[in-house]
Amino acid sequence: MTENTPRPVDPVEPFTFVLHGSSGDLSRRKILPALAHLAAEGYFGPESRIILAQRQQVSPDEALAQEDQFLQGIGEEAARKSLPALKPHLDTVSLSLGGAEAKARLDRVVAGKPEPVVHYAALPASRFVDLMALIDGPRDPARLRVVLEKPLGYSGEDSQRIEDVVAQQLDECQIYRIDHYLGKQAVQNLVALRLGNLIFEPLLNREHVAQVQITLAEDLGVEDRAAFYEQSGALRDMVQSHMLQLVATLAMDPPISLDADALRDEKLKVLRALKVPRVGGRESDIVIGQYVAGHMNGRPVPGYQQEEDVPPHSLTESFVALKTEVNNWRWAGVPFLLRTGKRMPSRLAEIVVQFREVPLQLFTPLGGTWSGNRLVVSLQPEDSLQLHLLAKTPGQRDCLQPVVLNLDFSDAWRIPVRDAYERLLSDILRGRLSLFLRRDEVAAQWAFIDKLRHELQDRAVRPLAYPAGSYGPPEATSLAFRAGGAWSESLKLAGE
């Protein structure tokens, strides 16, 4: 077997997977394609069952036809090719949450089927409590597991109410709180880069790092999610979940092992050490914005308040840029800049670790555009790792030029990089908790966000306008400058 030969498939043990909300956008766009790919690759034995639960009564063939039509509409041809592999495993059930009849129907559809029974709640958080009323089973992860999608509530108080109900029926080891960013190949390789090599871990501290940036940019607008987005906004939708988990993954101390609780213990320490940004005034550490009409790829697009189902004069933020710090011995004083927004110029997710300059610069960087060593972890549109260095320029005496060491995962392994949901679903079915959140992590994330939201409300901070197709309000650029740096796109425009 050569280095680039795919490893043999290791099928998961028989299971029953109940997908609640199977007709929703998340299920159709992410979960069902991931299940189809795993089935097509041979991960599911013939006994395994996948049950699609939704209000409408449909047959398995009708459900597959509807999914095929949806995937065709969004151009997912690879997922369409994998769909037939689901058919041998597929059942459907018409289910409205609530009431004894619904519980009896759910009990009947899973009776006699393989364990573990996995209930995946691809539902609004407001329905989690209703779903738990239908789930009845032992406190045994080998027999029953529940997957909860983010956001887990809309505040710390709301989250605690849901968690209390879940904890009445399940042990912590049965609960899989999912954040799909933790399933991305580049995030897992960030952990491997730190813990599997001696090169970087000694450098990830306040002595060597000048600044950390995390950008999660979307080129899409609110689209058809206005009802959800009006309740969440960018702070709760992106910062509370994805961004704080990425901060914790990068900034945590090395765990004593790769066991789930060992990893989550270290992430929790970071989340509890986060400094809440200052709000208001010229030195504010947070900028919120809302996109107005502009242009994307040469075509005009409406502003947020002109999107369908968005209330007039909405004050929901579609953009957030903030500066925080991790108040511990490793990171004290290092700015962590977080930025996310809709209708930005391109779809981009990246982590940039900006290292400090050498204490004495003996060489002359060619062109004068050098901004220091950087480690860039790209999560989308492609997974990759880049290390920005200076190297001697041929024929130039004592002159250096920026170069990039680039690891593209698809090129490196010559095999397709698995989608985040494929990795996470595989781990759920195998009973692996390392890539999922623990209750105290979620509580710490909400504590940070709730304090910040209350400060914004108390000071009556309103979102600043930014044109669709831009990088957000100009104040976000000033925020990065005051923190001692510039956003990564400024460095790219400078030719680095």
Give the catalytic positions in this structure: 242
State both tokens at 162. Answer: 């849901």
Element (H, E) at 72: helix 60-73
Spatial distance between the Cα atoms of 74 and 76, rounded to a whole number of angstroms: 6
Spatial distance between the Cα atoms of 427 and 433, rounded to a whole number of angstroms: 7
Q: Check residue 236 and report its DSSP letter.
A: I
**Pair 300, 293: CB distance under 8 Å:** yes
Q: Output the CA torsion 97→425→244→389 (10° steps).
A: -160
Spatial distance between the Cα atoms of 62 and 470, rounded to a whole number of angstroms: 42
Maximum distance among all Cα pairs of the chain, rounded to whole angstroms: 82
Name the phi and psi angles at 20, rounded to 5. -85, 130
Does residue 381 have a cis bond before it (omega within 30 degrees)? yes
Name the phi and psi angles at 121, rounded to 5. -95, 80
Q: Check residue 6 and report its DSSP letter.
A: P
In 72-165, the DSSP E strands lie at 90-94, 117-121, 144-148
Q: Tell me which residue has tokens 């030029």.
A: 401
Spatial distance between the Cα atoms of 440 and 36, rounded to a whole number of angstroms: 33
State both tokens at 103. Answer: 């519980």
Spatial distance between the Cα atoms of 258 and 244, rounded to a whole number of angstroms: 20
